[in-house]
Homo-oligomer: A and B are copies of this chain.
Amino acid sequence: MAPVKVFGSAVFANAARVMACLEEVGVEYEVVEVDYMAKEHKGLKHLARNPFGQIPTFQDGDIMLFESRAIAKYVLRKYAKSAQDDLLREGNPEEAAMVDVWTEVEAHQYLPAMAPIFYECVVYPARLGTTPNKKVVDESLEKLKKVLDVYEAHLSSTKSKYLAGDFFSFADLNHFPFTFHIMTTTHASLFGSYPHVKAWWERVMARPSLKKISAHMEIKA
């Protein structure tokens, strides 16, 4: 059987999310480059894979999927081979609920606060050669601090190693790509004020899957 395909390299944070899941469950995959600078993602071929023209898309035989969180869940649901690989815990409604809560928190609280910093300090300097807009970054840092306050209180009060409990889950993995990029900036120092969050992040980054993918994520000019 042909391996599954990820359209878009790990340079794209949302593609890195998908690849991290593939590594977690040990599925071989082929990375098909999509030339963003040449706007290949807005070309007819890519639009047939994802009508919204975004990266990544994913192919498994006859199935073509888009939206990285949906792809990630498909990969985890279909290819997890053991309880240890089961990052969704859908067989246990209470555990799955905690995975979902912190997965949704990532999408609706954490990433909206972090994304402008990612663009201003990582993407635009590399792609456009610009310097970060201080006002945008400062406002986002204030928002991010409020979010991290909640994470710190959660991890400290529950005494859990990971966001959904004492097990590594999709909720943790979901935070990987954008947090990894922020950690390459001077704003990584912010996490020093949140000892439980910092310790959690170190546990997350000790995963072999994430170490492997992170070696391919640098955004270059």
A: which residues have CB within 8 A of B? 51-52, 63, 65-67, 69-71, 73-74, 77-78, 90, 93-94, 96-97, 100-101, 103-105, 107-109, 150, 153-154
Contact = CB atoms under 8 A, between A and B. Distances in A.
A89 B29 CA distance: 25
Interface of A is mostly: helix
Given A52-B109, A90-B90, A70 B103 contact: yes
A65 B97 contact: yes
A77 B90 CA distance: 8
Contacts of A70: 97, 100-101, 103-104
A72 to B, nearest CB: 9
B78 A93 contact: yes
A93 B93 CA distance: 18
Nearest to A103: B70
Contact of A107 (B63, B94, B107, B150): B107
A69 B163 CA distance: 17
Contact of A150 (B52, B101, B109, B154): B52
Closest 4 CB pairs of A and B: A70-B100, A67-B104, A74-B97, A78-B93
A78 B90 CA distance: 10
Contacts of A94: 63
A99 to B, nearest CB: 8
B77 A93 contact: yes
A143 B153 CA distance: 38
Contacts of A69: 100, 104
18 contacts: A51-B150, A51-B153, A51-B154, A52-B109, A63-B97, A65-B97, A65-B101, A67-B101, A67-B105, A70-B103, A71-B97, A73-B96, A73-B97, A73-B100, A74-B96, A77-B97, A78-B93, A107-B107
Q: Which of A73, A105, A154 has the most CB of B within 10 A?
A: A73
Given A52-B109, A70-B101, A77-B96, 14 more contacts: A51-B150, A51-B154, A52-B150, A67-B101, A67-B105, A70-B97, A73-B96, A73-B97, A73-B100, A74-B97, A77-B90, A78-B93, A90-B90, A107-B107
